[in-house]
Amino acid sequence: MVGASAGGVEALMGFARCLPRNLPAAVFVVLHLPSDAKSVLPQILDRAGPLPAARAVDGESIEHGRIYVAPPDFHLLLEPGRVRLSRGPRENHHRPAVDPLFRSAARFYGPRVVSVVLSGTLDDGASGTFAVKMRGGVAIVQNPAEALFSSMPESAATYAEVDRSLPVAEMGPLLARLAAEPVAEEGVVPVSRELEIEAKIAAMESGAVHDNERPGTPSGFACPECSGALWELQDGDLVRYRCRTGHAFTASALLADQSVGLEDALWTALRVLEEQAALAHRLADRSRDRGQPTIVRRFEEQERDATERAEVIRRLLVTIPASVQPAAQVPLQA
């Protein structure tokens, strides 16, 4: 299983290029994509390396030596022996997202899973990597020094005990060796209730979203997607949030989203104050033409007050840093 975001197209091409032709395993790929994107990533990966790559199809059988690519606006999930596509709730504003794939694989395949986190911003993939490790799987990340955007592999390595951090070109031989090794099923940690519920939410399984005994504790924060209450979850040291309808965020993603919301609110306030100043100016001019000096002074005072407030907000907007999450690099044409 491979997850990537910004800078991920180049990393995925290198990954596909290094895979052996006779790999005794299936490969599943999630790249963050806008829901309305027209992705030709399957064709790109199909040409990049020896393994055939194609868009994943809901319900199709899993076969060794193939690359299954998540389509836009669908989570790519695994079940015993087959692929599932789901329009379950977004995670960190993404669908497809990396964590749902990793969790579904950890749920059903345990120690047989190898997760790979490549270039990307923020920390999608960290929670899924944690789930893979808890179930006895192997976790690999791209060397952050090589990644165009190092945050995703760094976060996975920070919050989960990854097994290897290495350049993309060295991953193929390692994966071939791991796939050929026998896997010990004894002593594997059972699927936790939390993992079971979160995997079911992503798959839109009946009753999962409405389970009253939800994992986590009420956080007091609101979901940026639907404004519902968020529950706080914890994977080791990684803090996450999920709402009743299933939208999920890491703490970093939630903080970034709140920063965007703050900027939007400031722009709205600036617009209202500038319109207020313009209206007060117009009313002052009309009152002046009618010889109403007392009313003129009142409108002029309102205009000065709105202008001064608008200037304060304008200075705040200038100081807001650029968004911490660049858009994923989406292949739009072959």
Q: How far, in Å, are 202, 242, 252, 258 from residue 222 at the CA level?
A: 20, 10, 15, 10
**Is 32 annotated as catalytic?**
yes
Query: Helix (H, G, I), strand (E, B), or coil: what is residue 85?
Result: strand
Find the catalytic residue in 99, 123, 124, 235: 124
Q: Which two three-digit tokens encode residue 39?
A: 């992705």
- For 196, the token pair is 């079971």
Closest CA relative to residue 228, chosen from 262, 122, 214: 214
Annotation says 257 is catalytic: no
Torsion sign (Cα): 212, 218, 223, 227:
positive
Catalytic residue status for 5: yes
Going along the chain, which residue ranges are E strands?
2-4, 27-31, 53-55, 67-69, 75-79, 82-86, 114-117, 138-142, 164-166, 217-222, 229-235, 238-243, 248-250
Quick check: helix, strand or coil at residue 50? coil
Give the residue from 254, 257, 223, 222 showing the smallest Cα distance to 239: 254
HSE at residue 167, side-chain half, CA atoms within 13 A, is 6
- The one-letter amino acid code at 175 reads L
Assign 3-state DSSP to the chain and report helix, strand, coil percentages, each to 5: 40, 20, 40
Name the token pair of 86: 């789901």
Residue pair 102/128 in contact by the 8 Å Cβ criterion: yes
Q: Which of 5, 86, 119, 150 is catalytic?
A: 5
Catalytic residues: 5, 32, 124
